[in-house]
Amino acid sequence: MVSWTWPAWVGVIGGLALFAGLFLPAVVWQSRRFGRLSALRLFGTAALAVYGVALIAYTLLPLPSGDLALWCAQHGVDGAQLRPFQFLADIRRETAGMSLVAAAKSIVVLQVVFNVLLFLPWGIFARGFAGWGVVRSTVTAALASLLIEGTQYTGVFGLIGCSYRIGDVDDLMTNTLGGLLGALVAPLVMRWMPRPADLRRGRGTPRPVTTLRRWLGMLVDVVSVLLLGTALGIGWALIGYLAGDRTLTAPDLATTWFPAAVLLWLPPLIGSGASLGQRAMWLEPRWRSATGELVHGTLPRRLLRGACGAAGWGVLGVLDGWGLVLVLFVITTVVAVPFSRGHRGLSYAVSGAELVDARTPLRAGAPDAMPAVAR
């Protein structure tokens, strides 16, 4: 029984860890594609991550380790099972003389049932979450199963040196059947899941500025700077390794100053003045002109807003000895969001800017005035 349940635990733990890593990209992708966030689709993404990891655990793990040549000599399997419907003969042989109940509980029957059930979620997610049709959902299930069986048969495409599991055409057939059945029941099972087509219809509609959108935008900015700095550091070290210098490390200019300049200091001065994170959440700063219209601000106003916001974070972040000041500054700017008018935060209040949905047209009137449908 343990051999049947441990991959499920791997799926839950590993899937949730995977979702944690994918959370921010999923939020950005969802925001840009649909123009808003859907908690139900984020939950679906988490469930899909758990299923994906569990599928890998059930079909490909554990991998052989240690002396692979010795392992293959002792445990390697012989080729593949290429006779369709061989499982029917196996069931007749293994369950001969058993009662119907006993036969249904036998390993040989449960394996077939499990192979169908294993790909049932594939069809459900493909049609109910991704919005694919029955044919596409079934074909992708078959291709995924074929990839799994090929990986088993070739020993991870030659890395192990032998077949560590039997590549079975019956597994391919039953997996595909599972994908088909999942696609057929998806409209019933996933009725609660918002469809991509329905969400896309409101993509261009301005929506109220919320604390969550503001905080997510800030998080995108911070993570983007860290990722760019890390990527530049790895790239610098890789260049040194290829050049024969394994001690070469990237200077602070490349890993801290440059990412902060590109992603935090420059954006307030160009275009709408929105940062990468704000653009991801459809947010942008505007100022009210003498005629009452919401317009893009002058350079001095943009500089002031940037200095009191993400650009200020960047400057303090790259200066030595200013860690405590940076922490207090970040806490202040983050905490100020839910308590400020229109959730505009500290930098907007100081510079006199308004934070609006980027889809709001430049016009006279209250900056947070939204069509009734958006509320």
Structure confidence by residue, pLDDT tens digits, 237-279 = 888 888 887 777 888 888 888 998 899 889 998 888 999 999 9
Between β-strands 294-295 and 283-288, what pairing exists: parallel, antiparallel or unpaired? antiparallel
Overall domain count for the chain: 2
User: pLDDT value at position 373?
Assistant: 36
Percent of the chain with pLDDT over 90: 60
Residue 257 sits at the vertex; the CA angle it makes with 253 and 258, to the nearest 5 degrees, is: 85
Residue 231 and residue 187 share a domain = no
Whether residue 318 sits in one domain with residue 231 = yes
116 within some domain: yes
What is the residue whose two structure tokens read 């790239």? 235
Q: For the beta carbon of residue 205, count every other beta carbon within 10 angstroms.
A: 14
Tell whether 61 and 98 lie within a shared domain.
yes
Residue 294 located in a structural domain? yes
SS3 368: coil
205 within domain boundaries: no
Average pLDDT on 146-163 reads 92
Residue 60 has pLDDT above 80, yes or no: yes
191: three-class secondary structure by DSSP: coil
Question: Is the pLDDT score of 22 beyond 80?
Answer: yes
* Shared domain check, 216 and 195: no
Co-location of 93 and 235 in the same domain: no
Q: Which two tokens stand for residue 271?
A: 């275009």
| Same domain (yes/no): 17, 145 | yes
Cα–Cα dist 264/314, whole Å: 6
Are 269 and 130 within one domain?
Answer: no
Quick one: pLDDT band at residue 1, thresholds 50, 70, 90? low
**Are residues 157 and 183 located together in one domain of the fold?**
yes
Give the whole-number percent of the chain exceeding pLDDT 70.
96
Q: Give yes or no for a contact between 225 and 263, defined as CB atoms under 8 angstroms apart.
A: yes
| pLDDT score of 320 more than 90 | no
Query: Tens of pLDDT along 191-230?
Result: 999 998 889 998 999 999 999 999 999 999 999 999 999 9
Average pLDDT, the chain: 89
**Residue 267 is assigned to a structural domain of this protein:** yes
Q: Is residue 356 within 8 Å of residue 273, measured between CB atoms?
A: no
336 and 256 both lie in a single domain? yes
d(CA 350, CA 308): 8
Instruction: Indicate whether 330 belongs to any domain.
Output: yes
Q: How far apart are CA 371 and CA 375, in angstroms?
A: 7
Q: For residue 145, what is the enclosing H or E element?
A: helix 134-153
pLDDT of residue 113: 95
The reported pLDDT for the residue numbered 375 is 31
For residue 364, what pLDDT is reported? 41
SS3 helix, strand, coil % of the chain, rounded to 5?
65, 5, 30
Which pLDDT value is given to residue 213?
Answer: 95
CA 146 to CA 171: how far, in whole Å? 9
- Mean pLDDT of the 23-32 span: 96
Q: pLDDT band for position 365 (50/70/90)? A: very low
Domain boundary among 177, 200, 223: 200
- 185: containing domain: 2-200
Mean of the pLDDT values across residues 58-80?
Answer: 89
Residue 206, in any domain of the structure = no
Any idea what the Cα angle at residue 367 is, between residues 29 and 302, rounded to 5°? 75
Residue 14 is assigned to a structural domain of this protein: yes
For residues 181 and 65, membership in a common domain is answered with: yes
Domain boundary among 140, 173, 200: 200
Q: Tell me the pairing of strands 283-288 and 80-81.
A: unpaired
Note whether 242 and 337 are same-domain residues: yes
Angstrom distance (rounded) from CA 32 to CA 26: 10
Give the tokens for residue 63: 């991998």
Count the helices and strands in the chain (H runs, E runs).
Answer: 17, 5
> Which pLDDT belongs to residue 3?
66
Radius of gyration from C-alpha coordinates of the chain? 28
Do 191 and 228 lie in a common domain? no
Residue 311 has pLDDT above 70, yes or no: yes
pLDDT for the residue 371: 37
pLDDT above 90 (res 173): yes
Q: From 174, 200, 226, give the residue that closes a domain.
A: 200
Residue 263 lies in a domain: yes
Average of pLDDT values for 339-368? Answer: 80
